[in-house]
Amino acid sequence: MLYAILCYNNEDVVCAWSKEQDDEVMARLAVVTDKLAKQGRLGPVARLLPTTAATTLRKSKDEPLVIDGPFAETKEQFLGFYVVDCASLDDAVNVAKELAEANPGGGSYELRPIGAYFPSREVG
């Protein structure tokens, strides 16, 4: 089963890291992702740009409204995700624990099974 591991943290804290701090975190995360890739279990991984770069299309009864910024104001922001092939939820939790160990500070990881994934379909 494919799982999306959604990464949340305080964007102000993460964006304040020095280049050296960021490089260190990315190197520790690469240890986890390289292991998963060698096992053939790693799908797409994305690190999102800050919410200041976000645009939201809000649906309503009238025309959809396009607004600058994220959908919700929260203490933690959605910063990125991993798609990982896991045998079970327990397996996905273990992967999330490894990612959490590699990533300093607070934050949280939300795990969701993926119902549909079409890697062979071309976009656009």
Closest CA to 33 of 45, 19, 51: 45
Confidence (pTM) = 0.82
Q: What's the pLDDT tens digit per position in 43-92?
A: 999 999 988 888 888 887 888 888 887 766 677 888 999 999 999 999 99
Task: Report the share of the chain in percent with pLDDT over 70.
Answer: 93
Q: What's the pLDDT tens digit per position in 2-36?
A: 999 999 999 999 999 999 999 999 999 999 999 99
Model confidence band, residue 117 (pLDDT cutoffs 50, 70, 90): low
Q: Is 68 helix (H, G, I), strand (E, B) or coil?
A: strand
Indicate the average pLDDT of the chain: 89
Residue 83 backbone dihedrals phi, psi, to 5 degrees: -115, 125
The confidence score (pLDDT) of residue 24 equals: 95
Model confidence band, residue 122 (pLDDT cutoffs 50, 70, 90): low
Average pLDDT over residues 94-107: 90
Residue 78 region by backbone torsions, left for phi larger than 0, else alpha for psi between -120 and 50, else beta = beta
Is-contact 46 33, C-beta < 8 A? Answer: no
The confidence score (pLDDT) of residue 46 equals: 95
Average pLDDT over residues 35-45: 96
